[in-house]
Structure 1
Amino acid sequence: MRGKQFGAIDIARYISALLVVCIHVYPFVDISKTFNTYFIQTVCRLAVPFFFVVSGYFFFRKWSEDEEENDFRFKHYEWRILKLYLIWTVIYLPYTIWNYASSGFSLISIFAYIRDFFLNGSYYHLWFLPALIIGMAIVYQIYKRKGLSFTLKVAFALYLIGYLINVYAPLWEKLPYVSILYGFFTKTLVTARDGFFFGPMYLALGLLLAKTRRLPTRVSLIAFSICFALLILEVWIYTRIGMMYDLSCMYLMLVPATYFLVNYLLAVKIPYRQQYKILRYDSLIIYTSHILFVRILFMFFPNANLVVYFLTIALSQGLASLIVREKEKYPILNNLI
C-alpha cells in the first residue's frame, strides 16, 4: 500500500533535488538570463517547500494518541536530522576553511560561523537541515498544545513576516531608519529563509495534509496550475518593480502551489518499484553533496554553467549510487541517508 501511495512522491523528491542544483548553478544564464531567472524563481523555488511539506506529512501522519510515543518519535526525528547535519558539516569543513582563508580569518568571522551553524546552515545549501530541526520543533510544540487550526495561523503569520523581510529587502535597505532595523536583522538572523519564518509554514501544510482527506487528483492539478500561473505573475511583478534578487524565495503563491502539488502527488496512484526507494536516497545525497562538485567544476569551467550543471548531476548521482550500493557492506554509510 505504501508503494502505491508514495511512488510519485519519491520521483518528485529526485526531480526536486535536480531543481535545487539549478538554483546554485544557474544552468541557463548563458542562454537567456530572463528564462534562467523565471525558471529558477518559479519552477525551482517549488523544490525546497516540497521537501518541507513532505517531511511534515510523513512525520505527522504517524501521530498517536499516546503523548509519550509522540515525544519519543519527535526526539528521534530531531536527532536523526541533527546527526545528518553534523556529518555533512564535517564533510564541508575543508570548504568552510577555504572560504574563511580566502576572505581572512577574524574574531567576527568565527562568531558569524557559529551563528550560521545554528540558524543559517554551516554551509550555505545545508540551511535546510537546521531549518527543518527548528521548524519541526515549532510546529510540533504548537500542534501538541493548541491543535491544527492555531498551528496553521501561527505558521502563516511567521511566513508573512518572513515574506515582507525576504521579498522587499531592496526596499528596506533604502528606507531611512528602517534600513537600520533591517541591517540589525541581517547581522543577527541573516535571512528570513530559515526555521523560524520559512520552515513552519510548509511543515504545517504537511501536517494539514496528514490530518485531512485528499482532494481529487483533477481538482488538485487544476488548482496547482492556477496557483503556479499566479506565482509566475507574482515573480513578474517583483521583477518589474525591482524587488527581484538572488535570495528572493518566500513568495505568497508558493504556499498554495506547493500544497496542491503535494496533494496531487499523494493522491495519484502509480505501480510501485523498488527503484523509487533508491530515488529517495539519491535525492538526499544529491541535495547534500552537489556543492562539493560545483565549487571545483566552476574553477575549470567558469563560463559554462550548463556544462557544470550536467557534470554536477553526474558526479552527485555517481556518489549517491556508490553510497546506496555499498551501504550494506559498510553500515556507516547509512548515516549519510
Structure 2
Amino acid sequence: MKKGYPVIDFLRVIAAIFVIAIHIYPFASISPFLDFICTRVVGRIAAPFFFMVISFFLFQYGYPTYKHIKKTILSLLKWYGYAIMIYIPLMLYNHYFTQPHLYLEVIKDLFIDGTFYHLWYFPAVIVGLIIVLLLKKGLVLLAWGIVVILYIVGLMGDSYYGMIVHIPALQTFYDYLFVYMDYTRNGLFFAPMFLMLGSVISEEYSIHQKTFIFTGCISFVCMFIESLLLHTMTSIRHDAMYVFLPVVCFCLFYLCIQYQGNRHPLCQKLSLYVYIFHPLMIVVVRMIGKFTHLMVFVDNNFIQFLLVVCGSFGVAYMIVYLLERKNGYGRKV
C-alpha cells in the first residue's frame, strides 16, 4: 500500500458526518449548547478541511502541471454534474424550474450557489482553485493580500453581516452583491483562503509540533467565543466563516500530516458519496417516517441523524462495491 496520510483519510469521513449534523441539528432537543458546539463551531471546520485536502495534494510537489490541474478540475466538474442530475427530481418537486427569472437563477446556482443546498461546494472549490492557481503565479505577498481581502469581504457578508448593515455604504455594496449570490460562503470569498493554506502547508516547516497544538487549541477557544458572541449579540446571514477559522484549520491540518502510514482510499470514496447523497437520505428518512407514521423519524433530530448517517454510508458502501465489482469484471475481460 502506498504511503500516505491516514489521519487525513479518517478525518474525511468524520468531516462528512459533521456535514450531515449541520443539516439536521442532531442534539437540538437534547442539549442546544452541545448542538451549537457540534454544528456551529466544530462542524464549520468540515468544508475548509475538504478545501485544504484538495489543495494540499494538488500542490504537494510544487506548482502542479497543466495535466494535474486539468485532471483535478475535470474530476470536480464530473462529480458536480452527477450530483446535479441526482437532485433534479427534488428540484422539480420543490418547483425550482417554475421560479421567476429562471435563466438568471440557474446561471447563479451553477457557478456560485450550487443547484441544491449542499452542492455549493463544487463550484466553490473550482472557482477557488482557479483564483489560487492564478495568484500563485505572481508575488507571494500580493497573493496573500488578495486572499485575505477576499476573506474579510466574505466575513462581513457572512457572520458579521449584522454589524455592517448599520453602515449605509457597506449595506449598499452587499445588497448589490447578494443580487448575484445568496451568501459570501462561495468560491470567490470563502474557498481561496483555505485552498491557499492547503497549498502552503505542503511546504516544509521547522516550527515545533507543540507550537501548533498550543496555537490550535487557543484559536479554537477563540473561535468558540467568537461564534457564541456572534450568535447571541447580532444577526448572522450565514455562519460558515469566522476570524479564527483559518488558524484552527491550518493547525489541525499541519498536525494531520505529521503521521504517515498506509493510505485508506475507501475513506476518500465514502466521504465523497456520503456528502453527495446525504440530503437525499434526509428526504428518504422523513418520507419513511410519514408513510409509516413513525414520526420519531421526523420529530426526533437525533434518531433522524443516526438513520441518515447509516443510510448515507450504506448507499456509499453499495456504490463502492458495485463500482469495484464492475471494474473487476472489466479487468478480467
Instruction: Give how far 1:77 is off.
Output: 1.2
1:11-50 deviations in whole A, cap 9, x for unaligned? 1111111011111111011112233123211110011111
Q: What is the CA–CA distance in structure 1 between the aligned matches of 2:6 and 2:251, rounded to whole Å?
A: 17
Instruction: Give how far 1:226 is off.
Output: 1.1
Instruction: Give how far 1:233 is off.
Output: 1.1
Q: Does 1:123 align with 2:119?
A: no
Please give the TM-score of this superposition, normalised by the length of structure 2: 0.89
Q: Quick check: 2:21–2:38 contact (8 Å CA) kept in 1?
A: no
1:232-267 deviations in whole A, cap 9, x for unaligned? 11112212312346x211101001000000000001
Q: Quick check: 1:172–1:182 contact (8 Å CA) kept in 2?
A: no
User: Relative to structure 1, is the Cα distance of residues 115 and 8 closer, same or farther in structure 2, using a 3 angstrom cutoff?
Assistant: same
Amino acid at match of 2:178: T
Decide which structure has greater helix share.
1
Q: Does 1:330 align with 2:323?
A: no
Listed as ranges, the matches of 1:1-337 within 5 Å are: 3=3, 5-63=4-62, 70-100=65-95, 105-144=98-137, 146-173=138-165, 178-213=170-205, 215-244=207-236, 247-269=238-260, 271-272=261-262, 276-299=264-287, 300=289, 301-331=297-327
User: Relative to structure 1, is the Cα distance of residues 294 and 238 closer, same or farther in structure 2, using a 3 angstrom cutoff?
Assistant: same
**DSSP-derived class of the 2:5 partner:** helix
Aligned-CA RMSD value = 2.2
**DSSP-derived class of the 1:40 partner:** helix
Percent identity over the alignment is 26
Instruction: Give how far 1:153 is off.
Output: 2.2
Once structures 1 and 2 are overlaid, which stretch shifts more, 251-260 or 150-159?
150-159
User: Relative to structure 1, is the Cα distance of residues 32 and 135 closer, same or farther in structure 2, using a 3 angstrom cutoff?
Assistant: same
Question: Tell me, which stretches of 5 or more residues in structure 1 are unaligned?
Answer: 333-337
Instruction: Give how far 1:183 is off.
Output: 2.6
Q: Quick check: 1:215–1:264 contact (8 Å CA) kept in 2?
A: no
Once structures 1 and 2 are overlaid, which stretch shifts more, 71-80 or 128-137?
71-80
Please give the TM-score of this superposition, normalised by the length of structure 1: 0.88
Q: Quick check: 2:18–2:38 contact (8 Å CA) kept in 1?
A: no
Size of the aligned set, in residue pairs, is 320
User: Relative to structure 1, is the Cα distance of residues 296 and 163 closer, same or farther in structure 2, using a 3 angstrom cutoff?
Assistant: same
Q: Quick check: 2:22–2:43 contact (8 Å CA) kept in 1?
A: yes
1:54-93 deviations in whole A, cap 9, x for unaligned? 11110011335xxxx7222212211111111011110111
Q: Quick check: 2:161–2:236 contact (8 Å CA) kept in 1?
A: no
**DSSP-derived class of the 1:31 partner:** coil
